[in-house]
Every structure is written in structure tokens, then in C-alpha cells.
Amino acid sequence: MKKLWKNCHIATMQNGQYSSIEHAAMVTVGQHIHWIGTFEDLPADAYSETIDLNGAWVTPGLIDCHTHSVFGGNRSVEFEKRLQGVSYAEIAASGGGIASTVRATREASEQELLASALKRVRCLLKDGVTTIEIKSGYGLDYANERKMLRVIRQIADTLPMTVRSTCLAAHALPPEYQDQSDAYIEHICNDMLPKLHQEGLVDAVDAFCEYLAFSPAQVERLFKTAQSLNLPIKLHAEQLSALGGSSLAARYHALSADHLEFMTEDDVKAMAAAGTVAVLLPGAFYFLRETKYPPLDSLHQHGVRIALSSDLNPGTSPALSLRLMMNMGSTLFRLTPEQTLAGVTTHAAHALGLQETHGTLETGKVADFIAWDIEHPSEIVYWLGGDLPKRIIQHGNEISI
Ligand code: DI6
Ligand code: FE
């Protein structure tokens, strides 16, 4: 099927810029972009279908490169308690926090987890997200991590989206391993991860490197196992304290290090040299009322790619709109709308290792794009939430939303 998409303007996002083509057209064949350029230059050809985009602005499909979309229950009651003055420590001591999500996730069946996750992921899809990464990390034992990863694969089978799964078994210490974090890491490395990988459930490996989670030495142990399994690496680093996790991630050529509020100049240099993407998560920054900013000037100065993501999770970022996160990326982190859009397209593709196929609109790439009914691409970042009129095209087919 050779389709002509005409009467549009295109922000291709090549080189991390709008790289606009006004009065443009695009030809897709099957799942791929066959030709892209100005309507004037369109070669004479026969098309099985011609689609009029009515002057829309076309961007790549958005990529949400860091989410924890699969979980049991939610923590809205805890949110209310915190605002009534109950401290995080008191909530954790009474069984709240991550532990409560682990309990609810373990109790839920695969079908229940799938149904609740689909509701959330559909919100992101309707917002223009055509590629999503989803982490495990609320099961924390073989059976329950497996259950989460299987649900992630089922989301890919259910929705017209590209879905990448990341094993985050090293998210928190399960109750069975209290005070034995080294033993839990050994269990992941010797048992869980190799088995889950063998079952084809894992596309990448992540860990939470933090004083209240896992140390750099423990993370390094995990990275070595991931490397021996040929699995790409990502890391939650420098969210609450500076442990040098982002430098460690760079040393292991991680795809990305994420959060990064407490990173140092040396970490920035290490990431720049390794080409590791900085994934910023304004939703968590906002929800935790964080005051320490990631070193934005330094990241820009050293040319580190900056991606943005929702971090959709029940504890620190219950975010159902990537566009709202983009707005926060601009208002909180002073990224221009162009940098923000690059952060959820080309740079996010790099953060998932999908840069050869996704993230920009060019010949040969996958035909995932959004035709927005707007005057200029900055409008995608400007509006706070709501629903922007759009058409969503995934793998060359318009999907109904
Ligand atoms: N950083 C976060 O902000 C979330 N996980 C992580 O590693 C918190 C997850 C939760 O509270 O459920
Ligand atoms: Fe996260």
C-alpha cells in the first residue's frame, strides 16, 4: 500500500530541531516512510490512497521512554495523608510507599494488572504517544516480576504502539530479603534475570541507585550480568542524592541515566563522553516538590542529549499526559518547546536504542506520526493538559482514538 499524505507541514525533528518542511507531503509504503519533502517536489507516482491532512502540523509519534505503567492499586489515599501532614517516613512505617504497591501488585492477577495498565497507557496513546517503555519493579520476586513483564508484552499485543520492556527487579528490597540487599542482587543476577531474559520478556535492565535502594557497587554487579546477557542498561540515578550512579552508567555505556537532580559536573562529562542520554522526569520533580534542579546549563554545555518522560508511577508521578510533562519540562527546566519536543522524539528514541527506526521523520524510518490541528509545533508544549485535536498514524495506518 503506497499512501500519499498531503497538505501538511512537517517538523521532522532531525538533529534535535524542528527542521520544518512547510507545504509538505509524505509517502508511506507499508510501515515505513518512503518519501518526504515539499509538495512541490513530490515525484509523479500512483498511490493506492491519498489522505488530506488539512494543513495540520505533523511530528514524529511521541516516545515516553521511562514509565512504570503496570502496577496494582494506587496511592491516592497516601497522597491525601501526606497533605494532611503525615510524613513520608510515617507512611512507610505503616506499610505504605513502594511496599504497598508491591503488595497490591503481587495480589493482582495478570488480567487485573493488564486491565488497569491499559486504561493508563490508552491515556498516553490518546495524547500522541506511539512508543512507550514500561518497567517491571513492583513484583520483586521471580513469579511477580514475570507477571509484570508478561503484562507489558500483552500491552504490546493489545494497543497499536511499540512497547519496550525493562526489568527493574532492582527497584526496592522485597520483604523476604530484609537487611540482605547483597543476597537479593545475587538472586537477580544468578536466577531471575537470566530466566526472564531466556523467556524473551526483557529488552533492557534498570536499577534504582539510591541510598534508600541499591548502592553503586550492587548496581555494578547487576550491570555486569546485564552485559553478559547482551542486554542494554538504564539507571535511575542521582534522584535524591549524589552517589555517582550516572558516571557508573556512562562507564557501562548505558542507554540512559534518569532523574539526575543531584548529578555533578563530572557525571555530566562522563555521560557526554559515553553518549548516555539524560532522561529528565519533571512529573516526579513536581510531585515531590523537589527544589534541587538537574544541572541544565552544564548538560547543554557538554552536549548531552536530554530526553523527557512521564515516569508514570503510583508514588512519585501519577502522570497520564506526556504533553503536560512537556509543558513542565519547559516551565520547570527552561527547555524551549523545540528542545522539549526533541526530548520526547529523537532523544527519547536514543534513550531506548531505537534511533535507527524511530524518533525522526525521514525516509526509511517507521511511519509513526501525529497530525496535530495546531498553528505551530510550540502549541503542543504550550497548552496545559486537555485534548489537542489530532490524527494518530502508527506503522502507516491511522488509528481511531
Ligand atoms: N524513582 C521514583 O521516583 C519511583 N521509583 C524510582 O525509582 C518511585 C516509585 C514509587 O514510589 O512507587
Ligand atoms: Fe522511574
For residue 236, the CA-to-ligand 1 centroid distance in Å is 9
Residue nearest atom 2 in ligand 1 by C-alpha distance: 316
**Closest atom of ligand 1 relative to the 315 alpha carbon:** 11
Q: What's residue 89's pLDDT?
A: 75
> How many CB atoms are closer than 10 A to CB 373?
14
Nearest Cα residue to 11 out of 397, 387, 369, 394: 369
Q: Is the dihedral of CA 329, 53, 129, 197 positive or negative?
A: negative
Q: Is 60 in the pocket of ligand 1 (CB under 6 A)?
A: no
Concatenated DSSP letters for 369-380?
EEEE-SSSTHHH
* DSSP character at residue 376: S
Q: Is 98 in the pocket of ligand 1 (CB under 6 A)?
A: yes
- Measured CA to CA in angstroms, residue 126 lies from 96, 170, 319, 396 at distances of 31, 31, 14, 17
What domains sit in the chain, N to C, each tagged with a CATH number?
2-60+360-399 (2.30.40.10), 62-351 (3.20.20.140)
Q: Is 246 in the pocket of ligand 1 (CB under 6 A)?
A: no
Q: What's residue 83's pLDDT?
A: 94
Q: What's residue 92's pLDDT?
A: 78
Concatenated DSSP letters for 126-169?
HTTEEEEEEE--SS-SHHHHHHHHHHHHHHHHHSSSEEEEEEEE
Q: Is 259 helix (H, G, I), strand (E, B) or coil?
A: strand
Rounded Cα–Cα distance for residues 269 and 246 (Å): 10
Contact 305/278 with Cβ under 8 angstroms? yes
For residue 316, the CA-to-ligand 1 centroid distance in Å is 6
Q: Is 136 in the pocket of ligand 1 (CB under 6 A)?
A: no
How would you class 395 by CB atoms within 10 Å of its CB: exposed for 0-12, middle for 13-18, buried for 19 or more? middle
Residues of the chain with pLDDT under 70: none
Q: What's residue 88's pLDDT?
A: 74
CA dihedral 199, 201, 204, 207 (to 10 degrees): -100
**Closest atom of ligand 1 relative to the 168 alpha carbon:** 7
For residue 60, the CA-to-ligand 1 centroid distance in Å is 28
Contact 3/49 with Cβ under 8 angstroms? yes
pTM of the model: 0.98
> How many CB atoms are closer than 10 A to CB 56?
20
> How many CB atoms are closer than 10 A to CB 229?
15
Nearest Cα residue to 135 out of 106, 107, 163: 163
C-alpha count within 13 angstroms, C-beta hemisphere, residue 70: 37
Rounded Cα–Cα distance for residues 104 and 153 (Å): 20
Q: What's residue 399's pLDDT?
A: 97
Rounded Cα–Cα distance for residues 363 and 355 (Å): 13
> How many CB atoms are closer than 10 A to CB 314?
22
**Closest atom of ligand 1 relative to the 97 alpha carbon:** 11
**Closest atom of ligand 1 relative to the 75 alpha carbon:** 12
Residues forming beta bridges with residue 344, ordered by sequence position: none
Residue nearest atom 4 in ligand 1 by C-alpha distance: 316
For residue 140, the CA-to-ligand 1 centroid distance in Å is 14
Rounded Cα–Cα distance for residues 261 and 263 (Å): 6
